[in-house]
Structure 1
């Protein structure tokens, strides 16, 4: 399911497109999915604000397993 694309270093270059709303949103979601897949930084609020397509795709791929999206951020000190 696109795992090779998600982890490919050239992925960032493929996300350079014009200002078409749907394309920009979908590429943002693919980038978020990639961040989750490769354990890069991402924000739970971005997942919660993402489209239904993204949430289903991430859940079916198992990328959200073990993440509590509603937990408060950890505090330091």
Structure 2
């Protein structure tokens, strides 16, 4: 059901699957244009969801790659004006910094979404785990971070 209490248009499901398929296969040189085109879909929620899945997949694959910086800059321009997608890119960059032991600020981690806090709590960065074990937003985040610290210390 959609927010209006009616069943979604079946075409939305077809378009969503088609968008995901196109995004999975897009050449790097065409990626920005395709993301922009998907975001013009008549169903903005569905379009954003398809692009979010794409961003998550690509960011996870590029996180350790030096090409990440250029990619995230291009994607930030492509999703400009879409606060949720822009925030997700920022959070991927913070997760990358935590993962690669690049400079990051604990306050940025503590004000991030539950999604990022949980990912960072499971990452191998001891400082991030300590911050989240103490002040993570949810019990699950704090417990995940503590469990990672305990495994590291052998408790």
TM range (shorter): 0.7 to 0.9
Considering fraction of residues, name the structure with more helix: 2
TM superposition score normalised by structure 2: 0.39
Q: 1:10 aligns with which of 60, 67, 86?
A: 67
User: How far off its partner does 1:14 sit?
Assistant: 1.6
Q: Deviations over 1:5-59 (max 9, x none)?
A: 2111111122132231011100000000001111110000000000000011111
2:119 alignment counterpart: 57
| Within-5 A mapping of 1:33-52 | 33-52=95-114
- Gap regions ≥5 residues in structure 2: 1-56, 135-155
- Gap regions ≥5 residues in structure 1: 71-77
Which of these two proteins has the greater Rg computed from alpha carbons? 2
In the comparison of the two structures, how many residue pairs are matched? 67
Q: Which runs of 4+ in 1 moved over 4 A?
A: none
The DSSP-based 3-state class of the residue aligned with 2:63 is helix
Two-structure CA RMSD over aligned residues (Å):
1.9
